[in-house]
Amino acid sequence: MNPHKTTVALVDDHVLLRNGLASLVNSFKGFEVLFEADHGKDLIQQLQDGDIPDIILLDIFMPEMNGFETLAWLKANMPDIKVIMVSMNDDDSAVVRCIKDNARAYLLKDSKPEDFFLALTDVRDNGFFLNQLVNSKMFKFLRGERDPTDNLAYPLTEKEEEFIKLACTDLTYKKIAEQMKLSPRTIDGYREDLFRKLNLVSRVGLVIYAIKRGLFKVE
């Protein structure tokens, strides 16, 4: 590695997109990719092997260990590594949650190359990068509007409540689809949409949410 360049690690399970981003970063003056990882667990293993980047570009939705979990681990274990979130998710809850967990910037995957370069440069030189996306989300939060990470305040539709109640049983998702008279793909959509909106990552999280909200009682 060139000692005069800022090293960057890329964490994303989409290999083609990750490779394209790696080529982009390597084209920027003063930056080079140190390594790439498929998910959070892969990243942690490489960090523990001694490869410590200056900056990490981190996706949110990944298998094994998602971006929220990875960011929390980095905050607790390696807080000096600067993290830039890179995602297609522009929900208030995702942006505010990441910034509260020590992310230094939040970029959408369809951002322009110059935005990536500006973000990397600002995070390297100033410690953070504020774009319009982050400014608008954080302004609403700091202005006193509802904390978007408070999932108990999220309004549920009748179908969502029904799905969550069934998810608290031992029914498989296929059986839940049959009981709700919906296709398995639609049920998968309900699950992923709720995970995203409620800041959850597992069925267990849905059960805990249901108990807190009073949708399900433990006998």
Confidence of residue 198 (pLDDT cuts 50, 70, 90): confident
CA–CA separation, 43 and 13 (whole Å): 11
Assess whether 123 and 37 both reside in one domain.
yes
**Total domain count for the chain?**
2
**Mean pLDDT estimate for the chain:** 87
- pLDDT digit string (tens) for 74-113? 999 999 999 999 988 777 777 888 888 899 999 988 899 9
Q: Which residues of 28-60 are buried (b: 16+ CB within 10 A; e: fewer)?
A: beebbbbbbbbbbbbbbebbeeeeebbbbbbbb
- Domain of 164, CATH number, reads 1.10.10.10
Q: pLDDT band at residue 179, thresholds of 50, 70 and 90?
A: very high
Judge if 123 and 27 occupy the same domain: yes
Contacts for 140 with CB less than 8 Å, ≥ 6 apart: 92
Structure tokens at 41: 């667990």
Residues 106 and 34 in one domain: yes
Same domain, 131 and 155: no
Q: Are residues 13 and 91 in the same domain?
A: yes
Q: Does some domain include residue 156?
A: yes
Q: What letter does residue 161 receive in the DSSP assignment?
A: H
Is position 131 within any domain? yes
Which residue's entry shows tokens 């890329």? 10
CA distance 38 to 43: 7
Note the pLDDT tens digit of each residue in 118-156.
Answer: 999 999 999 999 888 777 766 666 565 555 555 555 667
pLDDT (mean) for 23-29: 96
Residues 124 and 172 in one domain: no
Sequence-separated contacts (24+) of 189-193 with Cβ below 8 Å: 190/159, 190/160, 190/163, 191/163, 191/167
In the predicted model, is pLDDT for residue 34 greater than 80? Answer: yes
User: Of 96, 122, 142, which closes a domain?
Assistant: 142
Is the domain of 67 the same as that of 167?
no
| 161/202 same-domain check | yes
Last residue in a domain, options 142, 171, 205? 142
Terminal-to-terminal C-alpha distance of the chain: 59
Query: Does the structure show a pLDDT above 60 at 38?
Result: yes
Per the DSSP assignment, residues forming a β-bridge with 87 are: 108
Q: Please indicate, yes or no, whether residues 160 and 137 belong to a single structural domain of this protein.
A: no
Length of the chain counted residue by residue: 219
- Per mean pLDDT, which range of 124-128, 163-167, 198-202 is the poorest? 198-202
Q: Which two tokens stand for residue 13?
A: 């399970």
Asked if residue 174 belongs to a domain, the reply is yes
Asked if the structure places residue 165 within a domain, the reply is yes
If asked whether residues 203 and 181 sit together in one domain, one would say: yes
Domain-located, residue 218: no
CATH number of the domain within which 32 lies: 3.40.50.2300
Q: Which of 93, 116, 142 is the last residue of a domain?
A: 142
Structural domain including 167 reads 151-213
In a domain, 170, yes or no: yes
Distance CA 101, CA 76 (A): 10
d(CA 59, CA 193): 17
In a domain, 161, yes or no: yes
Q: Which tokens hold the place of 90?
A: 């522009």
Same domain for 14 and 95, yes or no, is yes
- Is 133 a member of any domain? yes
Q: Where are the beta strands (DSSP E) in the chain?
A: 6-11, 31-37, 55-58, 82-87, 105-108
Same domain, yes or no, for 14 and 115? yes
